[in-house]
Amino acid sequence: MYVSMKEMLLHAHRNGYAVMAINCTDMEQAKAIVQAAREECSAVIINVSPRQMKAHAFGEIMAPMIRGLAQEVDVPVAFNLDHGSNYEDITHAMRCGFSSVMIDSSSYGFEENVRRTSLIASLAHSMGMSCEAELGHVGQAVEADNTKIDLYTNPEQAKEFVERTECDCLAVAIGTAHGSYPKGFVPRLDFDRLTLLKTALDMPLVLHGGSGAGEDNIRRAVACGINKINVCTDLFKHGRQVMADAMKKNPDIDYMDVNIAAQNGMKDYIKAYMRLIGSSGWYTFEKSTGPELD
């Protein structure tokens, strides 16, 4: 099923689990993600950022491909623009056929963030798409040092923000960051703040920077109210490692077989992650009547 994020995240919110949102730049990843969701009877979100779209994963190609894969399975699959920051990129994604968009105006002041988010949320809703927003600011992991508390999301401000923007889910800053943390560094998450945010907002909350956060942090974040976890760096690293291993084992391996190895390796990684965050088993598996995905 090709759907927006709205209903699947409300389901996760009501039932206390989280859905993976995975950055994806090619067919092998898209197939790995959809297959994993089908085998785990889980909802899933596929993310592409404007930078990834411009560099390689063109929206005009990704959207119909992902819609086609999603329509072959009975589990909900959403396709979301990750970190859309300007009108041009967001409306481009809408025209390509994404089912959901994120507007990230978290580097602006509160009023400008409200203004920009409200505009995109109303546009998205008029087209049957969901809208994710960010308040507070999730930074880069290379700069992480567990001290950037002034960038964390303020629960009172968040309540006003959601009421005024009508976004469907909110990315909160509680201590994670995007990318690879310095060696040996494990982020310290502000679970008290997350609990306050969940109580104040009573809506689906999003954790960006899922990579390198550690299983304990991820489990606790879900228990405290996170319903969508964005993962990019760890899965990309894993896919690359599987390819490197396959080529080391057989230096003459066929190009397509390297891709298939990566696809299978990523699928297993995603399935384990889905079990960790509790999204497995909520939807029914019925064998597709269409072409086989694998």
Cα(80)–Cα(124) distance, rounded to whole angstroms?
12
Q: Please, what is the minimum distance in Å from the beta carbon of residue 41 to ligand 13P?
A: 24
Query: Coil, strand or helix: which one is 41?
Result: coil
Residue 76 corresponds to which tokens in the numbers above? 């909900």
Distance set, CA 57 to CA 119, 124, 163, 264, 266 (Å): 26, 22, 34, 20, 18
Beta carbons of 29 and 237 less than 8 angstroms apart? no
Taking CB under 6 A as the criterion, the residue among 42, 99, 105, 211 binding ligand 13P is: 211
Active site residue 254: no
With binding defined as CB under 6 A, does residue 231 bind ligand 13P?
yes
Q: Of 26, 82, 89, 168, which residue is the catalytic one?
A: 82
Can you tell me the distance from the alpha carbon of 172 to that of 138, in angstroms, rounded to the nearest whole number? 8
Number of residues interacting with ligand 13P: please give it, by CB under 6 A.
Answer: 14
Interactions with ligand 13P, residue window 137-196 (CB under 6 A): 178-179
Q: State in angstroms the smallest separation of the CB of 21 from ligand 13P.
A: 7
**209, 211, 216, 222 alpha-carbon torsion, rounded to 10°:** 50
Stretch that binds ligand 13P, among 119-127, 204-212, 245-253, 268-276 (CB under 6 A): 204-212
Residue with Cβ nearer ligand 13P (2 or 181): 181
Residue at token pair 């968040």: 158
Among 233, 237, 243, 258, binds ligand 13P (CB under 6 A): 233
**Binding of residue 232 to ligand 13P (CB under 6 A):** yes
* Contact string (CB under 6 A) for ligand 13P, positions 10-49, x = contact: -------------x--------------------------
Considering beta carbons, is residue 97 or 179 the nearer one to ligand 13P? 179
Check binding of 117 to ligand 13P (CB under 6 A).
no
**Which of 99, 128, 130, 133 lies closest to 116, judged by CA?**
133
CA distances from 172 to 41, 53, 255 (A): 27, 24, 41
| Catalytic residue ranges | 82
Residues that bind ligand 13P (CB under 6 A): 23, 82-83, 178-179, 208-211, 230-234
